[in-house]
Amino acid sequence: MSSPQILNIGICGFGTVGQGVWKHLSAHLGDLESRLGVKLHLARASVRDLTKKRDVKIPARLLTTDPLAIAKDPSIHIVCELIGGTTLARQVTLAALRRGAIVVSANKALICEHGPEIIAAAQQHGGHFFFEASVAGGIPIIKVLREGLVANRFTRIYGILNGTCNYILTQMEDRNASYAEVLADAKRLGYAEADESLDVDGWDTAHKASVLAWLAHGVWVKTDQMIVEGIAGITPADFKHAATLGYGVKLLAVISRDFVSNELSVRVHPTLLPESNVVANVSGVFNAVSVTGDVVGTTFYSGRGAGQDATASAVISDIADAAALLKHGKGSHLLGEDQGIRGGGCRLTPPERIRSRYYLRLTVQDEPGVLARIATVMAKQKVSIASVLQTPAEQAGAAALVLTTHESNERAIGTTLQQLRALAVVLAEPVLLRIGDFEQ
């Protein structure tokens, strides 16, 4: 690979992140060039509307409404795909890779849905694909897995990967406020989108978990192969009950691999974490990831997970890596070449082998014998009750039963929930949370 004198950078998508990349790259250009030993040139950017006013000003001659023109331009060495979505973004990414360019992306949904195709295109045509900004924003977790901890086999990776959900849960706990109230506040403050479902239903976290699972284990796990549950069913009462039991509540991605059975599970769900757990104490819009490797043990990473500056920082980090690759012709970022080795025939863990303890909140009729009927249902599935709390429910004539279980499995607890819903004495949808018995 010949080393160009000036590296031309094209930005496809000039929204919040795209403008952040242009702004920070321009501000630190001299310092970056000095460190990298190469000249960087912000050549072009694509926008949807040429007439729209933007916070970051760039010459009109550098703007286009056609991102594919940037992707196909042979003079552009590094293409930043910051469009979002999975349709046009896919076209842009593949067009650039097929001419041997480097693509930098912050698009976790694109990687989750089209990762194998993208990596194959990069390998076939000599392009390269960087995606540090796709997971956990300002935390360099992708570099950690593919470079810093490359000597390790990862038994567990878990953490908070969505700042919107973490903000909502933190505010619900701190203010004793309802989910709906905090969600409305989050939208006003710009922490939540107008359509919040991608975040609060767990899908954004699931996309990111898919990326991490591939990096750590060489296996593409689609979201329909995961347990994916969101936070909308959690109430202030759950935080009070959790605190009584010594726990906090977080929406986690959990990636676990058993190297004896060679099974991998990827799941996303609200989780009770012991108050002493470091991840349990990460609040607001911050993300946190705990990584356990067989060589290093457990390491922990925390930082802003989203927003213009955090995401732009990760994109610029990838641009710097891309520049080093173009200058020196080598790097540790080359994706796909050895990732299949990590997979090693790994298969997905069946539900009966995904084990956990559980927190179960039931709204039931306040009458004698109810607990016995519930215990009978649970006993039939060999789900053993560890503790019981009973408090008044909001509706008249009802009580709230909070049960924790001894270790069980996903198949048994799923059947238990189905049978509990069928009981006339259960008055509302049960709330099930996993208990995270992680060392840290």
**How many independent structural domains does the chain possess?**
3
Predicted TM-score of the model (pTM): 0.87
Residues 288, 324, single domain; the answer is no
Give kind and range of the element (H or E) at residue 364.
strand 355-365
Give the C-alpha separation, 120 to 117, whole Å.
5
Q: Which token pair is 333?
A: 């970022």
CATH number at residue 364: 3.30.70.260
Residues 14, 156, single domain; the answer is no
Which among 289, 351, 336 is positioned nearest to 131, based on CA atoms?
336
Which among 270, 318, 367 is positioned nearest to 130, based on CA atoms?
318
Is residue 321 in a domain? yes
Is residue 440 in a domain? no
CATH number at residue 99: 3.40.50.720
CATH number at residue 151: 3.30.360.10
Residues 369, 278, single domain; the answer is no
Q: Which token pair is 143?
A: 């570099």
Q: At what angle do helices 16-27 and 29-36 cross, to 10 degrees?
A: 70
Residues 312, 301, single domain; the answer is no
Of 316, 340, 364, the residue at which a domain comes to its end is 340
Residues 300, 160, single domain; the answer is yes
DSSP-derived pairing of the beta strands 355-365 and 398-405: antiparallel
Residues 156, 276, single domain; the answer is yes
Q: What is the pLDDT along the chain (440 residues), one digit of tens a residue?
A: 456 678 999 999 998 889 999 999 999 898 888 888 889 999 999 999 998 888 898 999 999 999 999 999 999 999 999 998 889 999 999 999 999 999 999 888 898 889 899 999 998 998 999 888 788 777 888 888 888 888 899 999 999 999 999 999 999 999 999 999 999 998 888 778 778 999 999 999 999 999 999 989 989 899 999 999 999 999 999 999 999 999 999 999 999 999 999 999 999 999 999 999 999 999 998 999 999 999 999 999 998 876 778 788 888 888 988 888 888 765 544 444 444 445 567 899 999 999 999 999 999 999 999 999 999 999 999 999 999 998 887 788 899 999 999 999 999 999 999 999 999 999 999 999 999 988 64
Would you name the residues annotated as active-site residues? Answer: 208
Is residue 345 in a domain? no
Residues 321, 359, single domain; the answer is no
Residues 29, 13, single domain; the answer is yes
Residues 295, 254, single domain; the answer is yes
DSSP-derived pairing of the beta strands 102-105 and 78-81: parallel
Residues 150, 238, single domain; the answer is yes
Is residue 396 in a domain? yes
Domain membership of residue 228 as a residue range: 141-305
Give the C-alpha separation, 107 to 203, whole Å.
13
